[in-house]
Amino acid sequence: MRTKIIGTLVSKLSVALINLMLVIVSAKFLGAEIRGNMSLILLGITLISLINDIVGGPVLVYLVPRVSLSKILISSYLWAILVVSSGSFLFAYFKIIPPQFGVELFFVSLLQCLNTIHLDVLLGKEKIRNYNFIFFVQTTILFISFCVLLFLWNKREIIIYIYSLYISYFIALCISSYFVFRVSRTINNKENVSVVKIFFRDGMLNQLANIARILSTRISYYFIELFVGTVAVGIYSTGVSITEGLLLLSSSVSLVIYSKISNTDDKEYSQRLTIKLSKFCLIISVTTMIILTLLPAQFYAFIFGAEFLDVKKVIISLGAGILALSFSMVYSHYFSGIGKYYINTISSSIALIVSVSLGIIVIPHYHLVGAGLVTSFAYLMSATFLFYKFIKETKLSYKELLPSFRDVFVIKNEIKKLKSQISNKS
């Protein structure tokens, strides 16, 4: 399992660095306003994808080892077409995204949703290496095509980003289709169950959690655009992109944990694994956050452009919430892995309620910093609930779940082992 975590972490780190370069290039050459519109379009794609994952996502991962793949794929494809069609129309009609990009939203979202279905199939079969490879390729091609179109076409318009999304998602879909075809030849029909019933029974609960979680962060984009302006959205989204890089380790660990727990019935092993890795994620995230907050504001202005001087304020205001999320994300995937999706739904709903109720009051007065503080508080409340539920589940004391000095030394030794394995691989 350590090898899978290393592979996932290296892949996600590479993807994060490429995404950071994309943020830097787009900020430098397109400015904060276009960055803001890019963030709103990407948010539209993300929300459509989350709704699509009601028939897909973690429930699909759970079903792949247990049910005929053909039944899973047919249901998932049909649902994707329905969701993308209705979602892109509604988002454009109600101007949740710039309405002139409704058609583009449809095609990009469809490519993305189909690719995500295939990635979930690969994750369900524990094909972590293929999963990571596709993510890396998609992000790399997105960055390369964006730079080529930007400098060769010499246009400073958002359509460059949209065309880059087309190219990258199409190539990723072709690759994922090939891997799924290979996997399908090794899967036999298993349990004869109603796939649609399971998707909507369990998938609905799980995806409501994911939708609420994303909205609890991204709802601030809409409040900022409404009360401050699109330029501010560009600055705030850049700060969010940087801080969410701290979640790399947690998301890598959570991905492997979820795949592992979905394929085992050993509950005690799953709990021990969750506790150990949640501590690991928190300690590393705290260390990285300290570095980010020590960098001067002028550093961020130099990297992204003069318009982005306030990025540091966003990072500091988001700090506590991101650390809470890095710790609790592992717990969230544990509950998904054992099929208790409703716990994540309640947790994410708490975060969303806090974000909406406080955001509409705080953001008009305190702008970017207010948005970051509201999001941090929302994440802290959500993490507290997950922490409490995990204590009840395991019957352990809270002291056993929190990192100690002993854990720091254990993690130090683990990092040495990881470095040694990475060196041997290279």
Find the range with the poorest average confidence among 35-39, 183-187, 275-279, 367-371. Answer: 183-187
Contact between 354 and 377 under an 8 Å Cβ cutoff? The reply is: yes
For the whole model, what pTM was predicted?
A: 0.78
Domain residue ranges in the chain: 2-425
d(CA 21, CA 241): 11
* 262-268 contacts at long range (C-beta below 8 A, 24 or more positions apart): 262/58, 262/61, 262/62, 262/65, 262/124, 262/337, 263/65, 263/126, 267/338
Q: 10 Å Cβ neighbour count for 76?
A: 24
d(CA 122, CA 133): 11
pLDDT digits (tens, 9 = 90+) for 222-249: 899 999 999 999 999 999 989 887 777 6
Q: Which of these, 146, 175, 141, 151, lies nearest to 163 by C-alpha position?
A: 146
What pLDDT shows up at residue 253? Answer: 64
- Residue 422: pLDDT above 50? no
What pLDDT shows up at residue 372? Answer: 95
Return the higher-pLDDT residue of 219 and 259.
Answer: 219
Instruction: Tell me the torsion sign for CA atoms 167, 178, 109, 322.
Output: negative
Number of H helices, E strands in the chain: 16, 0
Instruction: Tell me the torsion sign for CA atoms 221, 222, 225, 226.
Output: negative
pLDDT digits (tens, 9 = 90+) for 63-93: 777 777 777 888 888 989 999 999 999 988 8
